[in-house]
Amino acid sequence: MSFPRRIAAGLMLAGLCLSAVGGADAQTSAPGAVQQEIWFGPQASVAPSRLARAADFMDLFKPDAPWGQVASRTRVFKLYGAYLGVAPQDQVDTVVADLKRRHIAIDLEIGPMNVSYSPLPPCGGLGYVEGYSTVELAQRISRAIKKAGGEIAYVSMDEPLYYGHVFSGPHACHHPVVDIARLAAQTLKVYVAEFPNVIIGDTEPTSFGTPEWKADFAAWASAYRDVMGRPLAFLQLDIEWPLPNGVSDAVAVYRYAEELKREHLLDKVGVIYNASRREQSDAEWVRVAEENMRLLEQKDGLRPDLVIIQSWTPLPTHTLPESSNETLTGLAQFYLTEIAPSLSSGK
């Protein structure tokens, strides 16, 4: 792997007006500067899972790990339910201790709909369709985090609207939207009971492919508020970058999410920045992800509240170091040095 330097990265980072609160004290933004939060989510799994895992995932949690600049500006670190549900406790202890030391909050990304996989459900279910979970898994994850001395500060629901209502693949349910909210509440209330200050939001794909998508989003946000007694704290957009209409779909959903914010059904909007499964190398994956950042924020003028640097695919294979243009922390540093300054300068 080659690690070309990002020219003057340290100087540019030091001068940012962007507020991305993490291990460092909050930065003071210039008048009119865009306020954004940086979230970071590398691949993590436990063998023999078929899910991807960064080759150096645990190296992130060493005190001298080479992502100091990015870590100091990272507000939230994403951990997958599929990882925390089976990870050895000593790994969880290490992860939690280092994130606490860095003052980075933990986000749990997990399917929320409570439908067990055993016995075989008539449709849906943990292990059969994405977006599902169980109360038992919620309890197990909560115990592991608490035993490590940590706290789940955020829960990002993993696409319950899409997989519970729209998805038409094997074992699909096509639940009414209100049923999705009721099923999700059963697991979410476990996290609320264990971590009373937890902030809960949603992640959904932007290419629904149905003419009713606006009505579905509004109905879901309303149903969630009704059963949980609070609005969705955020909506994170999972963009289908390779599709011909992927970007236009993403912009349309983003603009509609802004309407939901004005209607107090939603608090913040985030964009997940990544590439796809088509790229053939770490360098290509990161380059494409950088192009996607430029496209949405500099060309289309999107200003997401949450900037999520994330991968769940095999690439990039490494998270470190941040000085590389072939790693996930390198992608985060690109955002901070190349995209964020253009937001505060109005370019």
Any idea what DSSP says for residue 72?
Answer: H
Any idea what DSSP says for residue 260?
Answer: H
| pLDDT, tens digit (0-9, with 9 covering 90-100), for 97-136 | 999 999 999 999 999 999 988 888 999 999 999 999 999 9
């004005």: which residue's tokens?
Answer: 262
pLDDT band at residue 2 under the 50/70/90 scheme: very low
Q: Write out the two tokens for 337.
A: 């040095």
First to last CA, the chain: 33
* Architecture in CATH for domain 35-345: Alpha-Beta Barrel (3.20)
Q: What percent of the chain has pLDDT over 70?
A: 89
| pLDDT, tens digit (0-9, with 9 covering 90-100), for 287-321 | 999 999 999 999 999 999 999 999 999 999 999 99
Task: Supply the pLDDT for residue 125.
Answer: 96
Task: Supply the pLDDT for residue 133.
Answer: 97
Any idea what DSSP says for residue 295?
Answer: I
| pLDDT, tens digit (0-9, with 9 covering 90-100), for 49-101 | 999 999 999 999 999 999 999 999 999 999 999 999 999 999 999 999 999 99
Which whole-number Å values give the CA distances from 253 to 207, 209, 241, 295, 311, in the listed order?
Answer: 9, 12, 14, 16, 21
In whole numbers, what is the pLDDT of the chain averaged over residues? 90
pLDDT band at residue 346 under the 50/70/90 scheme: low
Nearest residue to 155 (alpha-carbon basis) of 178, 177, 126, 133? 133
Helix (H) or strand (E) holding 288: helix 282-293
φ, ψ of residue 269 in degrees (nearest 5): -120, 135
Task: Supply the pLDDT for residue 347.
Answer: 53
Q: Which of 28-32, 103-107, 206-210 has the lowest mean pLDDT?
A: 28-32
Q: For residue 99, how many other CB atoms are within 10 A of its CB?
A: 24
Nearest residue to 101 (alpha-carbon basis) of 156, 69, 63, 148? 63
Task: Supply the pLDDT for residue 130.
Answer: 97
pLDDT of 26 higher than 80: no
φ, ψ of residue 117 in degrees (nearest 5): -95, -5
Cβ neighbours for 251, distance < 8 A, ≥ 6 positions apart: 296, 300, 302
**pTM score of the predicted model:** 0.91
Rounded distance, CA 116 to CA 156, Å? 20
């439908």: which residue's tokens?
Answer: 115
pLDDT of 10 higher than 60: no
Averaged over 138-166, what is the pLDDT?
98
pLDDT of 24 higher than 80: no
What residues does each domain of the chain span? Answer: 35-345
